[in-house]
Amino acid sequence: MSERRHRWQRWLLAGTLVLASCSASEQPVPGPKRFHRLNRAEYNNSVRDLLGVALQPADDFPADDPSLGFDNNAASLSLSPLQFELYERAAAKLASRALTPGTTSRDQLLPCADAADATKHADTCIAELIDEFGPRVWRRPLTNEELMALSELGSGEPLAVRAELVVQAMLLSPNFLYRSEPVAAAGETIWLNSHELAARLSYFLWSSTPDDDLLAAAQTGELLDPATLRAQVERMLDDPRAYALVTNFGGQWLSFRALDNVFKDAHRYPLFDDELRVSMATEAALTFAEFVGQNRDLRDLLTFKTSYVDTRLAELYGVADPGPGFVAVDLAGAERQGILTQAGFLTVHSYPFTTSPARRGRWVLDHLLCQPPAPAPDGVDIPIDPMSGTKREELDAHRQNPACAACHDSLDPLGLAFETYDPIGQLRTLENGEPIDPAGALPSGVAFANARELSTLLADDPRVVDCMIQQVLVYALGRGLTASEHRHIDTLAAELRERGTGARDLFAVVAVSELFRQAAPAAAEEAP
């Protein structure tokens, strides 16, 4: 193993010990800590905002495994030897690019480098770099021990070399790659300190590191004041970086990010190609961005009739070509209503060669009602593609198996409502020459004629707003909720309803909640 690797491993070990032994700032809170690794989106966004470079090195990192619907779940964000190698490579490339002479980033990171006496006063120059960049990259003030360790890196080397080593070390440290928070024992309440709260808030709303304004509020302690926190949340939601809520929360909750990995039988569905895949994702993203940006009522996500359509989607939906780009088009005549009839959603929750009532119905139960069915028994999750007749007929026979009926009794009535849309979301009335019957009933017995009527019923179901809050909490906290934490949902739902059930308000209500400002409980029971 090279001396270079030994050097970095010694640095990482020291960084890990520092990370595990002290709180982000203020007086350290004794007890265990919870470590939350940055996922790929968070890493890319953080280095963009810290260094001002266009590189996106995390695109080459291994995919982050999703858990509970999201890829920012701390329990699933492990660190492999390969990931460490890629972090090391990325840190070196980022430091080199950011400190290239003549760049804006170098002028900001190392303004003293071009002074006539910079070499003579290299120690002072490096100290200024650490003082300015350190608290930003580690999201808190540095300890004296950390300042000393960083200042000694590359001692005796030319200033440019030392500066690159310092920036690399900061980016490769666990203090950057992980967020550290205290863990509360059973029956104990621990409030996050101001820097921990700033980091949790910025990675929730921006999927990125805190900016100078947020760090300043953390440094003075003002962020712990509810009024200041609310003002910061509103400011951050107004910032373009809040679009991360669309791509990362919305993209995963509404499944349109999954379109990147969807494939369809080209012989059966020749319309589906990469261009249409992008159009589907864009329609969903523009829709959710409008709801957040305009603070539209969340329940309207299930009932809106106007959506964003381009030429390719117009062909798929059977409406007039709206012309160049994406245009808001009334789709009521095309039998479309809300997110559940958008082509992207229907495409993701299908198989490559056929639809899947089970997948579509499971999403409604899991993501809109937070009542996921039990996992399918081994060997029975087989896609049904009847050679004759319809899936309704096949599923009626499928439910004769008691092991299948336990789940399918709740899945099938919901999933079959979408059978008038094929595996790429195109409207159809026949399957194998037989008429499709999309009618069904909710578990409560309330009947619906098709997917649009089902969507309307769901929009009026109070469980949907409660479930949306739970989904946002899981994303915001990066973990599942314990059984005792579910009591917060009723309080937050009442507050959200008072504010009008707006999509933007949903994120604001969660961000200022007591649950969001508290440390995670030890051995959290991750609820589905």
**pLDDT tens-digit map of 255-300:** 999 999 999 999 999 999 999 999 999 999 999 999 999 999 999 9
pLDDT category, 128, cuts 50, 70, 90?
very high
- Classify residue 243: in a domain, yes or no: no
- Residue 290, exposed/middle/buried by CB under 10 A (0-12, 13-18, 19+)? middle
Q: How far, in Å, CA of 472 to CA of 495, rounded?
A: 15
Strands (E), 28-144: 33-37
Domain contains 510: yes
In the listed set 205, 238, 271, which residue is the last one of a domain according to the structure? 238
For residues 420 and 291, state if they share a domain: yes
Q: Are residues 364 and 399 in the same domain?
A: yes
Q: What's the domain count of the chain?
A: 3
**One-letter-per-residue 3-state SS of 432-472:** CCEECCCCEECCCCCEECCHHHHHHHHHCCHHHHHHHHHHH
Q: How far apart are CA 303 and CA 459, in angstroms?
A: 7
CA-wise closest residue to 195 among 217, 178, 176, 173: 217
Residue 13: pLDDT band (50, 70, 90) is very low
Domain that holds residue 512: 463-521
Are 307 and 338 members of one domain?
A: yes
Question: Of 367, 37, 24, 48, nearest to 206 (Cα)?
Answer: 48
Confidence of residue 17 (pLDDT cuts 50, 70, 90): very low
Residues 122 and 226 in one domain: yes
Asked if residue 389 and residue 297 are part of one domain, the reply reads yes
Specify if 526 maps to a domain: no
Position 406 scores a pLDDT of 58
pLDDT of residue 22: 38
Whether 348 and 404 map to the same domain: the answer is yes
Q: Quick check: is 527 in a domain? A: no
Do 371 and 450 sit in the same domain of this protein?
yes
Nearest 5°: the CA angle 179, 87, 480 is 35
What per-residue confidence (pLDDT) applies to 395? Answer: 81
Evaluate if residue 415 carries a pLDDT over 80.
yes
Distances (CA, A) of 335 to 246, 388, 421, 516: 26, 26, 10, 40
> For 171-185, 300-314, 392-406, which range has the lowest pLDDT when averaged over its residues?
392-406
Is the Cβ–Cβ distance between 284 and 349 less than 8 Å?
no
Domain-ending residue, one of 215, 238, 261: 238
**What span, in angstroms and rounded, lies between the C-alpha atoms of 57 and 76?**
21
pLDDT of residue 16 exceeding 60, the answer is: no
Return the pLDDT at 116.
67
Which residues on adjacent β-strands are paired with residue 180?
35
Q: Are residues 253 and 228 in the same domain?
A: no
- Of 118-132, 149-163, 214-228, 487-501, the least confident: 118-132
Q: Which residues share a beta bridge with 184?
A: 521
